[in-house]
Amino acid sequence: MVNIADDMCLRPQNDLTSLNRTLNFPINNDAFGCNDPVLNPTAIGLDASGLDQAEPVRLYLYIFRNRETYDRLRSTIDECARSFVTDPDTFESIESSPFVMAGQGPWAPQFKTALREALTEAAGTGD
């Protein structure tokens, strides 16, 4: 049996400081993308804009406790995305263990690069 509480990292505001320096990120905890009892505790809904992304886009940030949990649950996010993506051809995601950020695209190039860089920085060694 998996202890979901042990699989979560509950301090995203500490891990994503670099995102706050780069982008406008009001955090909304009201939507998690899909109704998955394992993924929901790991997810944060974000309305984000900045750089060349003028219009806010809805992003879902999944934060896993460590690389083992990330490896075990990563593929479930793609299944979850089917419930919130309106155009599969423009679905976007970036990942750097223990984080995955997903949402409806397309995302503007500088915006996507900044997200990737910030996520990678926040992930550190990925453990």
For the beta carbon of residue 80, count every other beta carbon within 10 angstroms.
23
What's the whole-model pTM score?
0.77
Domain segments of the chain: what residues? 4-123
Q: CA 96, 63, 75 angle in degrees (round to 5)?
A: 70
DSSP assignment letter at 2: -
**pLDDT the model gives residue 3:** 34
Burial 25-42 (b: 16+ CB within 10 A, else e): beeeeeebbbebeebeeb
pLDDT tens by residue, 113-123:
999 999 999 99
Q: Phi and psi dihedrals of 121, rounded to 5?
A: -65, -45
pLDDT tens by residue, 33-75:
678 888 888 888 888 899 999 999 989 999 999 999 999 999 9
Q: Which amino acid is at 22?
A: T
